[in-house]
Structure 1
């Protein structure tokens, strides 16, 4: 899994950065991509990326401010012409369904794939045998949500030597043991715990919408392998950040530290910071509190490593 940032600016695009969108690429895990927010021109950014709209499976919208969803109608309309025929599910706050239906309806846009829109107020949004997605309300001018994506633990490695000793060859029996089933052999029963190593811990990714520092951000980011948090301003503008219901780089680092996250990625930068030179003070402020912090950069992949892999 890796994150690919398509937009890192706050409010409006600039010549250097587009507005908010980040993709979670899970090609090995489920041959799919999930998108978090879809600011204006996100589909243009995708055209300049290794991402494919045909692989897009889910879109999660944090809140209904324009810099986080104005790119949705165009992207949804273009998806089919770029090979996207499989169902696509949108998750977001109340009002998302109306926005999509009105914008696509008035423009007479035709969607020839199944589009499912699920409005929510937080809680458990999705779960299958590989992933679970939970959400909680943050603190912003309008309802803004954070998302916690949990990769479920995987079975441990089979002890090939022990299985050979017991006369079990690779095949269906291996699959049953991996799935937690006991098997019967001529020499007796073999139970999974006898031949399986420790489970491989799944990764946790937390992606937050716009927010002031709040308890929900800490809970969503608890022990996350990677936490994506807005850092709209330097800390010298903390009062401005508070007035506009945003966070500073220092506040994002404090959230990551209290949550015991493993890596912090800062994004959603004010357009007053034109380039990496002007953004450098933000990263220095954050690293003074939480050293394992990086700045999100557009069109750069951020691998999601397990803590044990670091």
Structure 2
């Protein structure tokens, strides 16, 4: 479970950085990849990366501003040419389906895989036996959502000594107990999973926030997360500008992570005025003064999600 940034700039692409897109790789967990936002040029960034569109399972759009969305029609229409023929679900605010349908219809694009577009207004938007994804409205010029991805706890390891006590040998019963199912022995005894399993392995939480001013929902979505991805468009000396344009400063991103008691913070969505890493270092220094475990997003760099 790791994060790969395909775009980290705000507004428009520059020679140094592309516009917003973040990949959550779940190769070990479910052999798939999820994408958060799809700014212009995202599919070209994918070609320059170790990511495979054949593994793409879900796309989560935070809001309908172009720097988070304009790469979507192209990626959807060419995905199959890169081996992506499995079903794909795209989640996002109201209006997303109209945008996708119109773009594909007017360009006469053919989608030869199952494409499902789910518009939502927040709340629980996806859940299965491994993960759940919750969304909440942030504070931006248009409806902008943050997403909280929760990996469900995994069963603990089987205790060999406890298994031997019951005379259970490797085989189908192992699998049932590992899945949390009770089993019946030949002598009629019932063995409950908690009798032979160690402590469950705690699942990780990743929060990806769309464009936003500091707000309560950003903190709630980030509460106790192992990693928070938060926009940091400006240094705090431009706090008034950030407020006017419904964005956040690096300091405000750090304050959100601190208030949420998150494990780590990665800042992204940088203004084009910060052209190189030396200038971005000022944003990092500002954030670290409040939340020491702060990092800068870097394109084509893999970030492991800590346990």
TM exceeding 0.5: yes
Q: What is the alpha-carbon distance in structure 2 between the residues aligned to residue 59 and residue 162 of structure 1?
A: 43
State the TM-score, normalized to the length of structure 2: 0.98
Helix, strand or coil at the partner of 1:139: coil
Aligned twin of 1:270: 271
* Count of residue pairs the alignment pairs up: 306
Q: Which shows bigger deviation, 160-169 or 127-136?
A: 160-169
Q: What is the alpha-carbon distance in structure 1 between the residues aligned to residue 77 and residue 16 of structure 2?
A: 26
Unaligned stretches of 5+ in structure 1?
Answer: none
What is the CA distance between 1:246 and its match in structure 2?
A: 0.1
- Post-superposition CA distance 1:173-197 (Å, at most 9, x none): 1111122222222563322111111
Aligned twin of 1:252: 253
List 4+ stretches of structure 1 deviating above 6 A. none
Q: What is the alpha-carbon distance in structure 1 between the residues aligned to residue 249 and residue 265 of structure 2?
A: 13
CA RMSD of aligned residues (A): 0.8
Q: What is the alpha-carbon distance in structure 1 between the residues aligned to residue 26 and residue 181 of structure 2?
A: 28
Aligned twin of 1:5: 5
Aligned twin of 2:140: 140
Helix, strand or coil at the partner of 2:279: helix
Aligned twin of 1:104: 104
Helix, strand or coil at the partner of 2:207: strand
Q: What is the alpha-carbon distance in structure 1 between the residues aligned to residue 106 and residue 199 of structure 2?
A: 55
Q: Which shows bigger deviation, 79-88 or 228-237?
A: 79-88
Q: What is the alpha-carbon distance in structure 2 between the residues aligned to residue 89 and residue 221 of structure 1?
A: 24
- 1:107-256 → structure 2 map (5 Å cutoff): 107-186=107-186, 188-256=189-257
- Post-superposition CA distance 1:231-290 (Å, at most 9, x none): 000000000000000000000000000000000000000000001001011000000100
Q: What is the alpha-carbon distance in structure 1 between the residues aligned to residue 192 and residue 96 of structure 2?
A: 49
Helix, strand or coil at the partner of 1:75: helix
Helix, strand or coil at the partner of 1:35: strand
Q: What is the alpha-carbon distance in structure 1 between the residues aligned to residue 215 and residue 268 of structure 2?
A: 17
- 1:17-36 → structure 2 map (5 Å cutoff): 17-36=17-36
Helix, strand or coil at the partner of 1:29: helix
Q: What is the alpha-carbon distance in structure 1 between the residues aligned to residue 145 and residue 280 of structure 2?
A: 25
What is the CA distance between 1:170 and its match in structure 2?
A: 1.1
Helix, strand or coil at the partner of 1:24: strand
What is the CA distance between 1:121 and its match in structure 2?
A: 0.5
Unaligned stretches of 5+ in structure 2?
Answer: none
- Post-superposition CA distance 1:110-131 (Å, at most 9, x none): 1111110011110100000000
Helix, strand or coil at the partner of 1:143: coil
